[in-house]
Amino acid sequence: MIVIDIETTGLNPFKHSILEIGAVDFKNPSNRFYGKCRIFEGAEVDENSLKVNGYSYSQLNDLKKLELKDMILNFIEWTKPIKNKTLAGQNVDFDILFLNESLKRCQINWSFGWRKIDLHTLVYSDNLKKRIDPPMKNELSDLSGNLIMNYVGLPMEPKPHTGINGALYEAEAFSRLIYGTLLINEFEKHIIPSHLCN
């Protein structure tokens, strides 16, 4: 599977633009992709999103960066040798929606599909298996990204958020949840909690 994290100018894939794609080949975690691009013409920008990913308005249209289409083509090329292209991540529906809408916008005939693996489901299932009540808010699951990282023994992702950091943290979280083992050497100082080692 491919663990992916993207940064955008907002939450709406029809109006906002991708800024970054970070990805990790879960089977071969040293195989990584990190691409940045300028926004597509006419894209809307939500200031709250820029606070999360640390971009300034002047960086959004930097002509030194690739166009969105070129970055996506580079990403597709990177994925080609990977046998299992199922996308995985923290809030991976968001990433898939943005990718597929961007493909249409750029007239690229490719699809990342809709089947996915998400961290929330794995942690929620692990809680239930261990007879732990998952945290709730307004009668819905409240398993945030920070709570999930804490559950697997990782610190919060550094700010501002970047696509590659998100993908690395999420890939490590998947390994700890699925196998109870370290995947990425950068995280070796963070002890895997005993509840994941059984």
DSSP string for 58-78: HHHT-TTSBPHHHHHHHHHHH
- pLDDT given for residue 145 in this prediction: 94
Which residues does 158 contact at the CB level (< 8 Å), separation at least 6?
165
- d(Cα 187, Cα 172) in Å, to the nearest integer? 8
Which residues does 179 contact at the CB level (< 8 Å), separation at least 6?
none
Q: Write down the mean pLDDT value for the chain.
A: 96
Is residue 111 very low, low, confident or very high in pLDDT (cuts 50, 70, 90)? confident
150-195 pLDDT per residue, tens? 999 999 999 999 999 999 999 999 999 999 999 999 999 999 999 9
- pLDDT given for residue 110 in this prediction: 84
Q: Which two tokens stand for residue 114?
A: 């809709």
